[in-house]
A and B are shown apart, each in its own frame.
Chain A
Amino acid sequence: MKAKIVVGHLYPDYLNIYADRGNIAVLERRAAWRGIDFDYRTVGLGEPLRAGEHDLYYVGGGQDREQALIAPDLVSKGEVLREEVAQGVTFLAVCGGYQLLGRFYRDRSGAELPGIGLLPHHTIAGDRRMIGDVLLECELEPGDRRTLAGFENHAGRTYLDEDAEPVGRVLAGFGNNGEDGFEGSRMGGAIGTYLHGPLLPRNPWLADWLIAKALARRLGETPELDELPDDFESSAQQVSAERARSRGGRF
């Protein structure tokens, strides 16, 4: 039987501000180049969501206005999404989507936008935006150290619960809040991060990690994916990492 992953992209019409479709293109091509069927579906505002139909979810970022428009609908899907992740479904949430996976986002006026509590964090709007190139060191699999290079642009400062696991340690740039030296939030196969750029083209190892995790749920074990020629990808990562080292933001 041909390998297959079903991807559910949440609110692509509303949350797409930082070229989120680049992340989808990378997942799709890297699956196709390996002969894996990539079944891409969108999940829009007011559309029903049933457990068990997707292997991987994606949610991107939007302007404040668009995030406020979709937040109540996302809350109505929260129970299904939490259950899915508990069952081993993979999830990538970037920027605004990352914030909404936490418990809440509190804006400058003190008003709270509810999140879905899928990841153990909350976000509070700060005075200054955190904008610039970022470089992280990650160890998503024990003993396998990797770097992620991206760009961040957020006013929200995200604080993880004490026992929560970040995506990585900040080598250059602000990260979650510009204070504690960590970036992102990770629980099992669910990854939330501020890094765009978009994230996956210049960090193909993470795309492959997500694809492998999504396949593992169907196959019962994590498959070995074929190597792909990643010359452009490696060079782009080096340039991006160099930018973060030379001009990444910090308070």
Chain B
Amino acid sequence: MRLQLEIALARAAGRLSRLAGRGGGTTIPGKILATLDPDAVGTLARRLPQGSALISATNGKTTTAAIVAEILGDRVRLAHNRAGANLVSGVASALLAAPDAELGLFEVDEGAFPDVAGRVRPQAVSLGNLFRDQLDRYGELELVAERWRSALAELDPAAGVIVNADDPLLADISRGRANVVRFGLDDPRVALERLPHAADSKYCRVCGAPYVYRAAYVGHLGDFACPNGHDRRPPLDVTAREIELGGLESVSFEFVSPEGARRLSLALPGLYNVYNALAAASLATVLGASLDEVEAGFATFRAAFGRFERIPAGDKTVLLLLIKNPAGANEVVRTIVADGGPRLALIALNDNIADGRDVSWIWDVDFEPLAAGLDQLVVTGGRAHELALRFKYGGVPAERIEVVPDLERALDRGLDLTASGEELVVLPTYTAMLALRRIAADRGLVRPYWEEAA
């Protein structure tokens, strides 16, 4: 009885939050519920007849979860935190918002994963990658990995674990466990020429020697081996072969799994999204989807908000591509440069808690291939001047860099500089992306993210 009352209170608070214009109410109901009753998340999750699945990673959580939802959406009612509120409170809010759900599908912040897993007791988890990200908030990668290792040990032994075996840290923490699906890429044609500057986890876990890569695909992800024979990428259960990168529009690949092989395509750009696609297809399969359902879900999938989103603005278009850490930003740069690269870009850097207060990561991003093609750059956000310095010392003449800290004015300036019929490429950090979408929503160009998510 008491839980029912708490739930009613928490739901009312979410409606108030929306009415007050404070956002989508995607975390407030959950925060209230978690405060009133710390065990409520677990209690609600255990009521789900088909249990829960958790998705964690530094990069690709929201996209992976959205693909899984697209695949499963027709066959099962989901509780899904699709607006990206991925702490305990966001999971609680998603549970509150879907009282008749059959299955929980939750993306979870990498720092919050052990806590959420302990409460929700998932029947499957997908672990996508660990890259350096917000060291001021998460601490060192090794610490995050060790917490994940402990969390895996606490899971039900029957729980399915889907893991990116191209990540040496994740391959290591899943070693020796039953019910593991290991996925990775198998197409050296699309490999990097060398490891990027910001590559992490590139030394043997046993002897410290640098791994030798038969192919490095994204950051330190790839077909790695210790030169002294201590460690190597484990055999893969699920792979992507014959990968075709379709510019800014799509990827396609041969999906090879124990269930069979099939050519799949997805309306998302870049090699990093092939990893997200493999994680999503593997998790959906573990949750009971057939290859036909995977293929159908891929065919109808459209990008999660702000990750790769085109917003019409009069006779011009705004292309929003979220950047939040070196590995993710490198892939965004690689993808837009492979497509020809823009002459004008708008880049937005905030330093709120959700962005990371430490902005040093922008110096670890390989922006140079983008910078080389720019005639003009507009930088914005609370730390716009740091971006100006990043590009000035990255080789862009200072007179080509315009600093407009106010996001709305910067967006207008970017659009002014964009010719009719052309596209303005915008790379914002997380809170800057939300703010830019809010500006677009106020102008009636796009629906607010919580409606998009509904």
Q: A22 near B203 (CB under 8 angstroms)?
A: no
Verify A235–B385 contact, CB threshold 8 A.
yes
When the two chains form their complex, are residues B386 and A201 in contact, meaning their CB atoms are under 8 A apart? yes
A63 and B141 alpha carbons, distance in the complex (Å) = 8
Inter-subunit contact A239/B210 (CB<8 Å)? no
Are B140 and A64 touching (Cβ within 8 A)?
yes
Q: Is A41 interfacial (CB-CB < 8 Å)? A: no
CA distance A91 to B436 in the complex (A): 43
Q: Mark B380-408, 1 if CB is under 8 A from A, else 0.
A: 00110110111011100010010100000
Residues of A within 8 A of B142 (CB): 63-65
Q: Mark A15-41, 1 if CB is under 8 A from B, else 0.
A: 011110110011001000000000000
The minimal Cβ–Cβ distance linking A226 to chain B, given in whole angstroms, is 16
Counting CB contacts under 8 A, is A133 at the interface? yes
A197 and B359 contact, CB distance less than 8 A: yes
Distance of B331 from chain A, by nearest CB (Å): 18
**Distance in angstroms between the alpha carbons of A155 and B197 in the assembled complex:** 25
Point out the residues of chain A lying under 8 angstroms from B208, CB to CB.
69
Q: Is the CB of B364 within 8 A of A131?
A: no
Contact mask B42-77 → A, CB, 8 Å, 1/0?
A: 000000000000000000000000000000000000
In the complex, which range does the number of interface residues on chain A fall in? 35 or more
Are the C-beta atoms of B403 and A151 separated by less than 8 Å?
no
Write the chain B residue with the least CB distance to A129: B139
- In the bound complex, do residue B386 and residue A69 qualify as a contact, i.e. CB atoms below 8 Å apart? no
| 0/1 string, A201-225, CB within 8 A of B gives 1 | 1100000000000000000000000
A243 within 8 A of B: yes
Q: Which residues of B contact A133 (CB under 8 A)?
A: 357
Tell me if B386 and A13 are in contact (CB < 8 A). no
Complex CA–CA separation, A129 to B358 (angstroms): 14
A9 CB within 8 Å of chain B: no
Q: Are A243 and B351 in contact (CB under 8 A)?
A: yes
Beyond A19-B361, A201-B393, is A236–B385 a contact (Cβ under 8 Å)?
Answer: yes
In B122-143, the 8 Å CB interface with A consists of 132, 135-136, 139-142
Give the shortest distance, in Å, between B395 (CB) and chain A (any CB): 8
Partner of A66, one of B198, B203, B359, B382: B203
Interface flags for A37-62 (1: CB within 8 Å of B; 0: not) read: 00000000000000000000000000
Instruction: Give A247's nearest chain B residue, CB to CB.
Output: B357
Interface assignment of A184: CB less than 8 Å from any CB of chain B: no
Known: A21-B363, A66-B203, A151-B358. A235 touches B403 (CB 8 A): yes
Which chain B residues lie closer than 8 Å to A25 at the CB level?
363, 393-394
Shortest B208–chain A CB gap in Å is 5
Beta-carbon contact of B388 and A29 below 8 Å: no
Binding site for A on B (CB under 8 A): 132, 135-136, 139-142, 197-198, 203, 208, 210, 351, 357-364, 382-383, 385-386, 388-390, 392-394, 398, 401, 403
Known A18-B358, A151-B357, A233-B389; 7 more pairs at CB < 8 Å: A16-B197, A21-B197, A22-B360, A63-B141, A197-B359, A236-B389, A243-B351
14 CB < 8 A contacts A-B: A16-B198, A17-B140, A21-B197, A22-B390, A22-B393, A25-B394, A64-B140, A69-B203, A131-B358, A153-B135, A232-B389, A232-B403, A235-B385, A235-B403
